Amino acid sequence: MTISRLSALTVATLTATLVGCGGDSGSSSSDNAATIEAPTTYTFVNADDESTVSYSGQTARHILISDLKAATAAVTDSSATEDFDYYFRFNSDENGDNPHNFSIGGQTLEQTTYNSISSGKDLVSKIAGQDKEEHILNGGFFGWGDVETPTDLVDQYFADLVATADTEFTIETTEDDAASVTTAYVSEHGLDYVQLIQKFLLGAVTFSQGTADYLQTDFADAANLTVVDGKTYTAAEHKWDEAFGYFGATRNFNDFTDDEIAIKGGRPEFQGYNDADGGGTLDLTSEVIFGNSANCAKRDRGATVETDFTKEAFDAFLNGRAIVAKASADGELTEEMATLLEEQIEIAAVTWEKCIAATVVHYINDTIADMDNFDGTKFADVANFTDLAKHWGEMKGFALGLQFNPLSPFRADAATLDDLKDVLSLMGDAPVLADGTQAGVAFTGGVSQYKTDLLEARDLLRDAYDFDDSNAANW
């Protein structure tokens, strides 16, 4: 369902009850209530009217993920081996002045090189477990065989893609018992490495950093409420901005409709971007939509029972940033304001995760639909096989990312974490193909049982996030 937010957000007012200087610890009055006004766009300035918003490094990593996806999709043979590390282990000193490959048809971008966005950035140093071990929560990464870390999994995907690119194979279809598959990045077992790599990085880098790192900042620490030397912002403000940057929304996100965010209709000047300042160029750090923020709108559009993940997440980022700005100006995050901030942190992190989880549900449904198109033990055609690989890769890639948020409903206790492990186990590490095999081995119960397993995984996701039954069935 498309929700228009063109005039949906009025000024949000958060009121924190503060303790009076001479009052008891539990007393309050209207005279000592702090009113915090959140703007309608992600625009925050200091007393000198200078912007305090900064998250260019996060935008640079969105661009690296986008360029890596294009590089994997362009593979035709194993000669592309080193191209992947160019992006994953990007060397800003050597290559930062090279042009990036991101483009929007017909639009002029303000930043055309990597370093013109932000210097010194790569992907590998910010993947879960690489910068801080605790970002692999509860002691271990899980969900893909016996792979121990997210970095190891990305490297395995790279190696497998290279091997796949040089492997010729055929499949049985309705019209041809030896139909050639010429998509170099899709393996004979139905693994689409373009989708697996990109979707996994959106979880293991952007979602992990946003929720397990920056939103877990000690915003009450006095040192974080001090202006950073040579900057206009405090460390607390910058940490919050970095979380927002990884979410990927424009600063005027509430001005878009769901159709416009998803690039499925609406005004021409709002097709996943908007030149908000009228400067004639698009600023990648503020005027272009990236990552999971777009998935929120896609799921809102596809909901039969209304959801508004886009607005819920963005408003939480706005409100939280307003609280952090107030605390930075005052040099103190009071207990009451801290409580309000924790509420916004949870809304932002969990709604962000809901957008990902609902997208996993969407691709479970797509994968089942692809299997419904099998013709007995054969594929309907080659497209049936490559569609299955694509949709399964998106499903599994996104699902692997659900383990990185400490505020996840799957992190409530050991039992709920086991539910997430069950979701990933039920999916397996490859789809079940038309001949009833998974990764070259006969799957017990065949295609029918695998569909049942995917529906069980969908039910676990539905229950964890309290999704409506109709939405889970129809996303």
Q: pLDDT tens digits for 222-255?
A: 999 999 999 999 999 999 999 999 999 999 999 9
Number of neighbouring beta carbons within 10 Å of residue 459: 15
As a 3-state breakdown, the chain gives helix, strand, coil percent values, each rounded to 5, of 55, 10, 40
Phi, psi torsion values for 227, nearest 5 degrees: -60, 130
User: Cβ distance 433 to 422 under 8 Å?
Assistant: no
- Among residues 325, 358, 355, the alpha carbon closest in space to that of 340 is found at 325
Cα–Cα distance, 20 to 399 (Å, whole number): 48
At residue 134 the predicted structure's pLDDT band, cuts being 50, 70 and 90, is low
Structure tokens at 89: 């282990």
Higher pLDDT, residue 364 or 3: 364
Evaluate if residue 34 carries a pLDDT over 90: no
User: Cβ distance 95 to 285 under 8 Å?
Assistant: no
- Among residues 276, 317, 356, 310, the alpha carbon closest in space to that of 58 is found at 317
Query: So what's the pLDDT on residue 365?
Result: 98
Query: So what's the pLDDT on residue 28?
Result: 35
Note the pLDDT tens digit of each residue in 430-458: 999 999 999 999 999 999 999 999 999 99
- Largest separation between any pair of C-alpha atoms in the chain: 85
The residue to which tokens 């625009």 are assigned: 43
Phi, psi torsion values for 170, nearest 5 degrees: -125, 160
Residues 6+ apart with CB under 8 A from 31: 20
Evaluate if residue 11 carries a pLDDT over 70: no
Q: Percent of the chain, pLDDT > 70? A: 90
Residues 6+ apart with CB under 8 A from 154: 88, 124, 127, 197, 200, 201, 204
DSSP state letters, 402-431: GGG-TT-GGGSSHHHHHHHHHHHHHH-SS-
Cα–Cα distance, 311 to 301 (Å, whole number): 13
Structure tokens at 146: 């016996």
Structure tokens at 449: 């049982």
Evaluate if residue 82 carries a pLDDT over 80: no
Query: So what's the pLDDT on residue 132?
Result: 66
CA distances from 301 to 214, 262, 304 (A): 29, 9, 8
Phi, psi torsion values for 149, nearest 5 degrees: -140, 155
At residue 8 the predicted structure's pLDDT band, cuts being 50, 70 and 90, is very low
261-267: long-range contacts at Cβ-Cβ below 8 A with a sequence spacing of 24 or more?
Answer: 261/289, 261/293, 261/294, 261/296, 261/297, 261/298, 261/310, 262/294, 262/297, 262/298, 262/301, 264/301, 265/2
Query: So what's the pLDDT on residue 229?
Result: 96
CA distances from 325 to 42, 59, 218, 219, 251 (A): 12, 22, 14, 11, 16
**Collapsing DSSP states into helix, strand and coil, what is residue 213?**
helix
Structure tokens at 139: 């002691």
Evaluate if residue 197 carries a pLDDT over 70: yes
Cα–Cα distance, 222 to 208 (Å, whole number): 25
Number of neighbouring beta carbons within 10 Å of residue 393: 27
Query: Residue range 103-109: average pLDDT?
Result: 96
**Collapsing DSSP states into helix, strand and coil, what is residue 148?**
coil
The residue to which tokens 């299997």 are assigned: 371
CA 262-264-268 angle, to 5 degrees, is 100
At residue 3 the predicted structure's pLDDT band, cuts being 50, 70 and 90, is very low
Cα–Cα distance, 168 to 6 (Å, whole number): 51
Helix boundaries (H) for 45-149: 56-73, 81-88, 92-95, 114-117
Number of neighbouring beta carbons within 10 Å of residue 156: 13
User: Cβ distance 291 to 206 under 8 Å?
Assistant: yes
